[in-house]
């Protein structure tokens, strides 16, 4: 069964065509890494999955539901099954770290305040931030913000976790810590969709891969398939060791 | 790129202006519709009432007091020519309650709260916090804009009453310093010619000011782009747009008040 399916999706912003007839399928419980240079439409693809961007043509299915046809409460209901770790973490800066993680639970469950606090503390402990519950996001480092963002994205134990550039702007050690957390998340049964141009990180997390270039799917498949690709750009990509 | 003629530039500017007016109007109308639908986000509304009301009170009280003192000095200088110093409290109270208090409170709130709303929502937009709200399954428009609009509509009449009374008190202090008039006499003279029809419509019209400030500022916050520069611009434009809307709407509101309360225009 597929967790996410793109069916001939195209999207343009004005004259700029960002996605051009893109199709792919992500099986449930697998980690799918979307690779490509900056500005090739990776983040836009991710935003299509969660309904933040609508395609000009084509369909996006999330757990069999066509998200392009949903709005309002129906869309919100589908989104409850997804977590999103933004590139900048996007923590709500008017709330403490603990309140950020508690927020999805407060909105979508009828758990008691004590229960929510306990669960939020547990989620923060999973990412090593249990001591930072009462801190404001502005007091955290970049890596800590990313981890807090991951704790918030995982607050409702989503079936699908979308991750935008998990290692962007982080030092190699912190980036490896985030990768470890994502691998653990995958092992817990969550479907991962990771956008990255960090190949070592993708090799560690991913089960299946796709390379986007100028809005088109250049190659897709397992790591072996991509390593064997004769496409020069895919070759360059797969043999790169740089992160960030 | 070909140079546009003056007519083309004026036309393009006018079209842009009409487009903005249309967008803000749609935004405001959507807020009215959404306000009637659950969830009502009561906790957020209360939080904003505290932020907008309690935190604006010192500014309103101080400004009101200063305006009262200044108005009293000007009124004394004018009325003394006609030997009508006894009318100073009533003249000041009428001026404050009918127009100066509501309008000044509106303009001060547009500066303090409007700029804050524009900057806060704008910063949330450029740092993807609004997207984060949406993917959490929260209607960001309702959570960020509608709650602020309702809170400011609730808060404005109370701030206006504060402004009116601190102004009257300021007027008393100025008058007492010159003539030694007692508070009891001043208060009695101030309210001799004041009727409910002076107080209620003038105070309630600030609900409209609150709506306009919050709608304009939230709209500019939601449409922020270009990073921190855009946030600064949203903040500044929030003050400019909401101040203009307050002044323009005041003309219409005063006319409506005169229509329903002819005694006020007398």
* Interface ipTM: 0.90
Q: Which of A150, A100, A79, A89 is nearest to B136 (CA)?
A: A79
For residue A19, give Cα distances in angstroms to A31, A129, A160. Answer: 21, 37, 22
pLDDT confidence tier of residue B89, bands split at 50, 70 and 90: very high
* Distance spanning both ends of chain A, measured CA to CA: 33
State the nearest Cα–Cα gap between B125 and chain A, in angstroms.
Answer: 10
Query: Do B129 and A93 make contact, defined as CB atoms within 8 angstroms?
Result: yes
Q: Which of B190, B218, B208, B221 is nearest to B247 (CA)?
A: B208
Answer yes or no: do A187 and A202 share one domain: yes
Query: Do B137 and A91 make contact, defined as CB atoms within 8 angstroms?
Result: no
Q: Is the pLDDT at A100 greater than 60, yes or no?
A: yes
| Total domains present in chain A | 3
Number of other CB atoms surrounding residue B6 within 10 Å? 7
State the nearest Cα–Cα gap between B108 and chain A, in angstroms.
Answer: 24
Q: Over the stretch B192-227, which tens digit does the pLDDT of each residue have?
A: 888 898 999 999 999 999 999 999 999 999 999 888
- The residue of B43, B137, B143, B225 whose CB has the most chain A CBs within 10 angstroms, and thus the best one to mutate to test that interface, is B137
* Distance spanning both ends of chain B, measured CA to CA: 59
Answer yes or no: do A58 and A118 share one domain: no
Nearest CA in chain B to A153: B136
Cβ–Cβ under 8 Å, residues A54 and B115: no
pLDDT confidence tier of residue B265, bands split at 50, 70 and 90: low
Answer yes or no: do A124 and A189 share one domain: no
Query: Do A90 and B131 make contact, defined as CB atoms within 8 angstroms?
Result: yes
For residue B209, give Cα distances in angstroms to A34, B247, B252. Answer: 49, 9, 12
Q: Is the pLDDT at A169 greater than 80, yes or no?
A: no
- The residue of A14, A47, A85, A92 whose CB has the most chain B CBs within 10 angstroms, and thus the best one to mutate to test that interface, is A92
pTM, entire model: 0.89
CA distance A35 to B94: 70
State the nearest Cα–Cα gap between A50 and chain B, in angstroms.
Answer: 7
Contacts of A104 in chain B (CB under 8 A): 136-137
Alpha carbon B201 to its chain centroid, in Å, reads 15
Answer yes or no: do A72 and A142 share one domain: no
Q: β-strands A160-164, A16-27: how paired?
A: unpaired
**Partners of residue A195 on adjacent β-strands:** A34, A164
Q: Is the pLDDT at A165 greater than 80, yes or no?
A: yes
What is the percentage of chain B residues whose pLDDT exceeds 90?
A: 78
Nearest CA in chain B to A154: B136
CA distance B248 to B103: 11
Answer yes or no: do A162 and A138 share one domain: no
Q: Which of A82, A94, A108 sits opposite B135 (nearest CB)?
A: A82
Q: Which residues contact B128 (CB under 8 A, 6 or more apart)?
A: A86, A87, A88, A90
For residue A112, give Cα distances in angstroms to A102, A127, B160, B162, B251. Answer: 11, 23, 40, 39, 51
Q: β-strands A208-213, A31-35: how paired?
A: parallel
CA distance B45 to B51: 10
CA distance B204 to B106: 12
Residue span of the structural domain in which A193 resides: 158-213
What is the mean predicted confidence (pLDDT) over B145-170?
97
Cβ–Cβ under 8 Å, residues A179 and A167: yes
Query: Do B135 and A50 make contact, defined as CB atoms within 8 angstroms?
Result: yes
For position A70, which CATH number holds?
3.40.50.300
Cβ–Cβ under 8 Å, residues B155 and B55: no
Number of other CB atoms surrounding residue B55 within 10 Å? 12
Answer yes or no: do A163 and A196 share one domain: yes
Q: Which residue has the tokens 């303090």?
A: B112
State the nearest Cα–Cα gap between A211 and chain B, in angstroms.
Answer: 25
Number of other CB atoms surrounding residue A109 within 10 Å? 14
Q: What confidence score (pLDDT) does residue B140 get?
A: 95
Mean confidence (pLDDT) of chain B: 93
SS (H, E, C) chain A: CEEEEEEEEEEEECCEEEEEEEEEEEECCCEEEEECCCCCCHHHHHHHHCCCCCCCEEEEEECCEEHHHCCHHHHHHHHCCEEEECCCCCCCCCCCHHHHHHHHHHHHCCCCHHHHHHHHHHHHHHCCCHHHCCCCHHHCCHHHHHHHHHHHHCCCCCCEEEEECCCCCCCHHHHHHHHHHHHHHHHCCCEEEEEECCHHHHHHHCCEEEEEECCEEEEEECHHHHHCCCCHHHHHHHCCCCCC
Q: Is the pLDDT at A242 greater than 90, yes or no?
A: no
| Three-class DSSP category at B51 | helix
Triad A5, A26, A180: Cα angle to 5°: 140
Answer yes or no: do A149 and A164 share one domain: no
Cβ–Cβ under 8 Å, residues A37 and A197: yes
Query: Do B137 and A103 make contact, defined as CB atoms within 8 angstroms?
Result: no
Query: Do B136 and A77 make contact, defined as CB atoms within 8 angstroms?
Result: no
Number of other CB atoms surrounding residue B185 within 10 Å? 15
Query: Do A86 and B132 make contact, defined as CB atoms within 8 angstroms?
Result: yes
Query: Do B137 and A88 make contact, defined as CB atoms within 8 angstroms?
Result: no
Q: Is the pLDDT at B132 greater than 90, yes or no?
A: yes
Residue B261 DSSP symbol = -
Q: Is the pLDDT at B1 greater than 60, yes or no?
A: no
Answer yes or no: do A123 and A170 share one domain: no
Q: Which residue has the tokens 């996605």?
A: A19
- The residue of B47, B136, B225 whose CB has the most chain A CBs within 10 angstroms, and thus the best one to mutate to test that interface, is B136
Answer yes or no: do A7 and A53 share one domain: yes
Q: Which residues contact A30 (CB under 8 A, 6 or more apart)?
A: A3, A186, A191, A192, A207, A208
Q: Over the stretch A203-219, which tens digit does the pLDDT of each residue have?
A: 999 999 999 998 899 88
State the nearest Cα–Cα gap between B222 and chain A, in angstroms.
Answer: 15
For residue B37, give Cα distances in angstroms to B34, B71, B156. Answer: 5, 45, 23
CA distance A144 to B126: 20
Q: Which residues contact A220 (CB under 8 A, 6 or more apart)?
A: A24, A208, A209, A210, A211, A226
State the nearest Cα–Cα gap between A223 and chain B, in angstroms.
Answer: 30
Ranges of each domain in chain B: 41-265
Q: Is the pLDDT at A110 greater than 90, yes or no?
A: yes
Phi, psi of A215, rounded to the nearest 5 degrees: 80, 0
Contacts of B135 in chain A (CB under 8 A): 50, 52, 79, 82-84
Q: Over the stretch B33-77, which tens digit does the pLDDT of each residue have?
A: 999 998 899 999 999 999 999 999 999 999 999 999 999 999 888
Answer yes or no: do A135 and A179 share one domain: no
């Amino acid at each position: 069964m597929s967790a996410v399916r793109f069916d001939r999706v195209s999207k343009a912003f004005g004259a700029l065509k960002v996605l051009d007839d893109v199709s792919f399928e992500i099986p449930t419980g697998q980690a799918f890494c979307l690779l490509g240079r900056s500005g090739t439409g990776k983040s836009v693809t991710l935003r299509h999955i969660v309904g933040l961007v609508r395609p000009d043509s084509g369909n996006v299915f999330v757990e069999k539901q066509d998200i392009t046809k949903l709005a309002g409460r129906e869309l919100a209901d589908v989104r409850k099954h997804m977590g999103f770790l933004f590139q900048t973490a996007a923590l709500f800066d008017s709330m403490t770290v603990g309140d950020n993680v508690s927020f999805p639970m407060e909105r979508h469950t009828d758990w008691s305040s004590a229960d929510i606090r306990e669960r939020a503390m547990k989620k923060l402990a999973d990412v090593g931030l249990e001591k930072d519950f009462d801190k404001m996001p502005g007091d955290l480092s970049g890596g800590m913000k990313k981890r807090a963002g991951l704790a918030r994205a995982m607050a409702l134990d989503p079936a699908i976790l979308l991750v935008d550039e998990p290692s962007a702007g982080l030092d190699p050690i912190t980036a490896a810590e985030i990768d470890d957390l994502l691998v653990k998340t995958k092992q817990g049964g969550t479907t991962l969709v990771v956008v990255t141009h960090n190949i070592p990180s993708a090799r560690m997390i991913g089960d299946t891969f796709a390379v986007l270039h100028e809005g088109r799917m250049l190659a897709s498949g397992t790591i072996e398939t991509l390593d064997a690709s004769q496409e020069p750009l895919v070759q360059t990509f797969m043999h790169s060791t740089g992160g960030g | 790129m070909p140079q546009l003629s003056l007519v083309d530039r004026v036309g393009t500017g006018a079209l842009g202006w009409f487009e903005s007016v249309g967008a803000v109007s749609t935004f405001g109308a959507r807020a009215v519709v959404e306000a009637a639908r659950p969830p009502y986000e009561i906790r957020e509304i209360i939080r904003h009432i505290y932020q907008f009301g309690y935190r604006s009170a010192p500014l309103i009280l101080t400004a009101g007091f200063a305006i009262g003192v200044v108005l009293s000095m000007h009124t004394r200088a004018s009325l003394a020519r006609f030997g009508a110093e006894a009318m100073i409290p009533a003249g000041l109270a009428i001026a404050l309650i009918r127009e100066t208090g509501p309008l000044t409170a509106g303009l001060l709130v547009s500066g303090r709260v409007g700029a804050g709303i524009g900057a806060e929502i704008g910063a949330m937009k450029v740092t993807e916090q609004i997207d984060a709200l949406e993917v959490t399954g929260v209607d960001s428009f309702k959570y960020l804009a509608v709650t602020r609009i309702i809170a400011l509509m609730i808060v404005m009449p109370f701030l206006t009453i504060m402004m009116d009374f601190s102004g009257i008190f300021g007027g008393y202090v100025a008058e007492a310093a010159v003539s030694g008039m007692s508070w009891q006499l001043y208060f009695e003279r101030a309210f001799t010619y004041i009727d409910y029809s002076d107080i209620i419509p003038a105070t309630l019209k600030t609900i409209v000011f609150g709506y306009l400030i919050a709608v304009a500022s939230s709209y500019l916050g939601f449409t922020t782009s270009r990073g921190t520069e855009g946030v600064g611009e949203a903040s500044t434009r929030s003050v400019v747009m909401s101040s203009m809307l307050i002044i323009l709407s005041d003309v219409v509101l005063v006319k409506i008040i005169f229509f329903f309360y002819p005694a006020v225009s007398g």
